[in-house]
A and B are shown apart, each in its own frame.
Chain A
Amino acid sequence: EVQLVQSGAEVKKPGESLRISCKGSGYSFSSYWIGWVRQTPEKGLEWMGIIYPGDSDTRYSPSFQGQVTMSIDKSIRTAYLQWSSLKASDTAIYYCGRPIGDLDAFEIWGQGTMVTVS
């Protein structure tokens, strides 16, 4: 079964750093992009960016460029989303997903990671 499993909920203070993860299984991990989507009640669903595990090619939405960092560890089939200094406005649910291509719909989604910054 193709699936993405995300790390658990996090509660952090403003200014702290954080890295959340997304582990793929059931498919050739290096051959498919992994993307990240933020969901908040105020702004809804927001596409943050995508990363290609094969060569770590990364494309950020301008809204998130410089605010987060996406990375990959192919050896353990895991994608990461990290912050160096969290803000209260980073409070959200973060989903990883697997698009069919680089600019495409997400056909597989992780279960989501709730991040609370307070």
Chain B
Amino acid sequence: DIQMTQSPSTLSASVGDRVTITCRASQSLSSRLAWYQQKPGQAPKLLIFKASNLEGGVPSRFSGRGSGTEFTLTISSLQPDDSATYYCQQYNFYPPTFGQGTKVEIK
């Protein structure tokens, strides 16, 4: 299976900060990577697909970049509602695999 490694595991930032999460794959994915947001007690929610495409209804402060083996999710101006755990997922190879998650906390 393809290994997905996210960093950092946890980050704490202030409202208004620019925040970046990195996801590295053990093999090249082309651009077949998604980012999800999960809040406690809720299902994951799709934010970004094909590495950089914003899902409908997702605020424009979220953006994704990358290709190959290195990808990033950026929140341009952190808001209180962004407190959550974020996961990357590759879907270039069977079986699709997820990163271990990055917990974003608001200072």
B70 → A minimal CB distance (Å): 18
Interface positions, chain B 54-107, Cβ under 8 Å from A, are 55, 87, 89, 91-92, 94-101
A114 → B minimal CB distance (Å): 10
With A105-B46, A109-B45 given, is the CB distance from A59 to B94 under 8 Å?
Answer: yes
Out of A46, A59, A100, A109, name the residue touching B43 (CB < 8 Å): A109
**In which size bucket is the chain B interface?**
20 to 34
Taking CB as reference atom, which chain B residue is nearest A48? Answer: B95
Verify A110–B96 contact, CB threshold 8 A. no
Does A83 lie at the interface of the complex (its beta carbon under 8 Å from any beta carbon of B)? no
Verify B46–A45 contact, CB threshold 8 A. no
Verify B96–A103 contact, CB threshold 8 A. yes
Out of A106, A110, A111, name the residue touching B46 (CB < 8 Å): A106
A39 → B minimal CB distance (Å): 9
Query: How far is it, in angstroms, between the C-alpha of A47 and the C-alpha of B36 when the chains are bound?
Result: 14
With A44-B101, A45-B87 given, is the CB distance from A103 to B94 under 8 Å?
Answer: yes
Interface string of B14-48 (1 = CB under 8 A from A): 00000000000000000010100000001111100
Instruction: List, in ascending order, chain A residues with CB within 8 A of B44's CB.
Output: 37, 45, 95, 106, 109
Q: Tell me what chain A mostly uses at the interface: helix, strand, loop, or mixed.
A: strand
Interface string of A89-105 (1 = CB under 8 A from B): 00000010101100111
**In which size bucket is the chain A interface?**
20 to 34
Verify A95–B91 contact, CB threshold 8 A. no
Query: How far is it, in angstroms, between the C-alpha of A68 and the C-alpha of B43 when the chains are bound?
Result: 21
B50 → A minimal CB distance (Å): 8
Query: How far is it, in angstroms, between the C-alpha of A111 and the C-alpha of B103 when the chains are bound?
Result: 20
With A95-B43, A107-B46 given, is the CB distance from A44 to B91 under 8 Å?
Answer: no
Out of A37, A104, A109, A110, name the residue touching B91 (CB < 8 Å): A104
Beyond A44-B101, A103-B91, A105-B89, list 19 extra A-B contacts (CB 8 Å).
A45-B44, A45-B98, A46-B98, A47-B95, A47-B96, A59-B94, A61-B95, A63-B95, A97-B43, A99-B91, A104-B91, A105-B34, A105-B46, A106-B34, A106-B46, A107-B46, A109-B43, A109-B44, A109-B46
